């Protein structure tokens, strides 16, 4: 695809803007480092003094240097064993913030009639709270196992499978489109890491937000500066 700078810090590839939100019926977001400002697993690891070790694996996974996301997540979760469960609430209260423009973009999409989907390789503790804050329609993420008030270092299997990785994100995007009776071409997918690429490729419009190089290169829109609502410079509300 030929890339062009549509505006400073905003790169558009493969189509000529503008588009309209009315052309779409669903927008799907990754959570960590996309809709919110942190990688939650790295901040939980801080509670047991293992942030540097966990963050190094997270960075490699997001850059696409670790091919097996499920294995990388299991390794990181294992390093959380013994962390107090109340560390999750502290991370949410003290460290987690919506990224710039997140609320404005979500509200504008909702006003235009789009449904909203949050798909994350992170954890339900956080996705449930972000969902409730933004009134999102659908979520999919992972469940941390807790026993006696501490993380066990394991994940809980769910009815749909074991871990929400890149392929599960894509499956959830496609299943949501089917549930809504729309084509994948009517979906927007936003992410920052390599595990977001499967759903981004499946969607009609793929958006990289402050993303890793591999993701920026493959996205139709790359927001490299500013907030998530810069998407509205390409996909107009009216």
Q: Reduce the secondary structure of the chain to three states and give it as a string.
A: CCEEEEECCEEEECCCCCEEHHHCCEEEECHHHHHECCCHHHHHHHCCCCHHHHHHHHHHHHCCCCCCHHHHHHHHHHCCCCCECHHHHHHHHHCCCECCCHHHHHHHHHHCCCEEEEEEEEEHHHHHHHHHHHCCCEEEEEEEEEECCEEEEEEECECCECCCCHHHHHHHHHHHHHHHCCCHHHEEEEECCHHHHHHHHHCCEEEEECCCHHHHHHCCEEECCCCHHHHHHCEECC
| pLDDT at residue number 6 | 64
Report d(CA 219, CA 209) in Å as an integer.
9
| Mean pLDDT of the residues in the chain | 95
Catalytic residue among 32, 42, 196, 229: 32
CATH number of the 3-37+98-236 domain: 3.40.50.1000
Which residues share a beta bridge with 146? Answer: 151
pLDDT band at 192 (very low <50, low <70, confident <90, very high): very high
Average confidence (pLDDT) over 117-144? 98
Q: State whether the Cα torsion 181-187-190-196 is positive or negative.
A: positive
Average confidence (pLDDT) over 145-172? 97
What token pair was written down for 41? 């697993």
Residues 105 and 116 sit within 8 Å (Cβ to Cβ) = no
Please check the confidence at residue 103 and state whether its pLDDT lies above 70: yes
Give pLDDT tens digits for 200-209: 999 999 999 9
Report d(CA 82, CA 185) in Å as an integer.
44
Which residues share a beta bridge with 147? Answer: 150
Query: What is the chain's length?
Result: 238
Please name the residue that has the structure tokens 């480092």: 33
Q: Mark whether 196 is an active-site residue.
A: no
What token pair was written down for 65? 């240097």
Catalytic residue among 23, 30, 46, 196: 30
Q: Mark whether 32 is an active-site residue.
A: yes
| pLDDT at residue number 238 | 77
Give pLDDT tens digits for 1-59: 445 556 889 999 987 677 999 999 999 999 999 999 999 999 999 988 999 999 999 99
For residue 209, report the phi and psi dihedrals to the nearest 5 degrees.
-120, 115
β-strand 115-123 against 138-147: which pairing, if any?
parallel
Report d(CA 208, CA 217) in Å as an integer.
9
| pLDDT at residue number 16 | 67
Report d(CA 50, CA 53) in Å as an integer.
5
């Amino acid at each position: 695809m030929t890339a062009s700078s549509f505006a400073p810090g905003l790169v558009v590839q493969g189509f000529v803007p503008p588009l309209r939100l009315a052309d779409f019926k669903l927008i799907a977001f990754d959570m960590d480092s996309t809709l919110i400002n942190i990688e939650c697993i790295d901040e939980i690891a801080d509670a047991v003094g293992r942030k540097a070790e966990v963050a190094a694996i997270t960075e490699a996974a997001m850059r696409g240097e670790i091919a097996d996301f499920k294995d990388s997540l299991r390794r990181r979760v294992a390093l959380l064993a013994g962390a107090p469960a109340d560390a999750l609430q502290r991370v949410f209260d003290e460290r987690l913030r919506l990224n710039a423009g997140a609320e404005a973009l979500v509200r504008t999409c909702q006003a235009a009639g789009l449904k909203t989907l949050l798909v994350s390789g992170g954890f339900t503790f956080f996705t449930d709270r972000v969902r409730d804050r933004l009134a999102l329609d659908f979520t999919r993420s992972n469940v941390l196992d807790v026993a006696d008030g501490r993380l066990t270092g394991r994940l809980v299997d769910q009815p749909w499978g074991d871990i929400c990785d890149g392929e599960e994100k894509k499956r959830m995007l496609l299943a949501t489109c089917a549930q809504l009776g729309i084509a994948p071409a009517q979906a927007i997918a936003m992410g920052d890491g390599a595990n977001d690429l499967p759903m981004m490729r499946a969607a009609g419009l793929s958006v990289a937000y402050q993303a890793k190089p591999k993701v920026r290169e493959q996205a139709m829109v790359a927001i490299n500066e500013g907030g998530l609502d810069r998407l509205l410079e390409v996909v107009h509300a009216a």
